[in-house]
Amino acid sequence: MSDLTESEIRSFQQARGLDVTGFVDAVTARALEEAQWKLGDRSLYLQEPPLMHGDDIAALQSRLTEMGFDCGRVDGIYGPRTEVAVKDFQKSVGATIDGKCGPATIIALIRLTKIVSGGVPSTLRQNAMQQSRGPALANKVIVLNPDGADQLVYDVAVRTEGRLLALGASVFLTRGATNNPSELERIGFSNKSSADLMISLNVDSYANEKAHGAATYFYGSDAHGVHSIVGERFASLVQREICARTDLTNCRIHAKTWDLLRMTMAPTVRIDLGYLSNPGDLARLSRPDFRDVIAEALVIAIQRLYLAAEDDAKTGTLRISDLRKAGIRR
């Protein structure tokens, strides 16, 4: 790692969906460690935490997914679902069913051709699962994550929570007004809650006060050739609703491999609501009525995610009162 130039580090970070800083921080160091593994370099298996990570696991997951075995998200982490998928594959080829991806299993993977066509199975499953949940919010579990300890994003989360509760959704916040759990604690909380969606609210800051605007992030990795389909669609809805209802600059949506997006089982987005270092963004976010508009935009984006195409509305036009009148609450 020490012999990498700043340009090479930046290129690697860009390709892996990391923050592009030009120096090797802890996250980049871990990604470099994961990138060195190729499928077949080692035996893969479910172990006690910390779980095995690596590009070889991502390659295994991609191969299993192509053949129709459900290992969940291609995230390069050998978790319980990946072990179950390996066992299912081993059973299908008559190999020893131990959930370990050793030489015999890898050879069988290489020999077999893809048996599923017409779309990536994980994508089909994500879409089918989302559609089967129906349009009502009353049976949805939404986790709101006011990032850090900032009170502005906590206030937006509370305002969003109230509106979602009024529509019958089950809503959980990852923190209160005064505590600040670690990122891993927040991820664990969401996973234990069996959330349908996780929304992380954040405000940014930068040395140059001219930096401004809102951006939304979802899980995606060009290196592994995978994106969260539901996460990307929801990120697009959120970004469009916020920018249609406010004068925040549209900094668009972006795929990232941050742990919060990668390790949270539910489709997850992180929303940067503006820059506190920018006087204009700070003035907007300091206004309670502006935070109300943000909260309404989030609720409408959540509802639109579950609406059928024929029931959807033009961005920026739907109101929570419309949802109540339509009886979508139940």
Read off the pLDDT of residues 272-295 as tens digits, 9 standing for 90 and up.
999 999 999 999 999 999 999 999
Architecture of domain 6-127: Orthogonal Bundle (1.10)
Mean pLDDT of all residues in 165-188: 96
pLDDT at res. 118: 46
pLDDT at res. 132: 57
Give the model's confidence band at 32: pLDDT under 50 very low, under 70 low, under 90 confident, else very high: very high
Most confident of 92-96, 146-150, 169-173, 219-223: 169-173
Q: What is the C-alpha to C-alpha distance for residues 18 and 301, in angstroms, rounded to an integer?
A: 26
Architecture of domain 136-326: 3-Layer(aba) Sandwich (3.40)
181: preceding bond cis by omega (within 30 degrees): no
State pTM to two decimals: 0.86
Q: Nearest to residue 76, comparing CAs of 96, 46, 56? A: 56
pLDDT at res. 198: 98
pLDDT at res. 292: 98
pLDDT at res. 116: 47
Residue 274 or residue 228, greater confidence: 274
Pairing of the two strands 268-275 and 197-204 = parallel
Count of residues for the chain? 330
3-state SS string over the chain? CCCCCHHHHHHHHHHHCCCCCCCCCHHHHHHHHHHCCCCCCCCECCCCCCCCECHHHHHHHHHHHHCCCCCCCCCCECCHHHHHHHHHHHHHHCCCCCCCECHHHHHHHHHCCCCCCCCCHHHHHHHHHHHHCCCCCCCCEEEEEECCCCHHHHHHHHHHHHHHHHCCCEEEECCCCCCCCCHHHHHHHHHHCCCCEEEEEEEECCCCCCCCCEEEEEEEECCCCEECHHHHHHHHHHHHHHHHHCCCCEEEEEEECCHHHHHCCCCEEEEEEEECCCHHHHHHHCCHHHHHHHHHHHHHHHHHHHCCHHHCCCCCCCCHHHHHHHCCCC
Task: Return the domain boundaries, the chain.
Answer: 6-127, 136-326
pLDDT at res. 82: 97
Q: What is the C-alpha to C-alpha distance for residues 42 and 40, in angstroms, rounded to an integer?
A: 5
Q: What is the C-alpha to C-alpha distance for residues 197 and 259, in angstroms, rounded to an integer?
A: 16
C-alpha dihedral over 22, 25, 31, 33, to 10 degrees? Answer: 110
Query: Please, are residues 202 and 257 in contact by the beta-carbon 8 Å criterion?
Result: no
Q: Is the dihedral of CA 113, 221, 156, 151 positive or negative?
A: positive
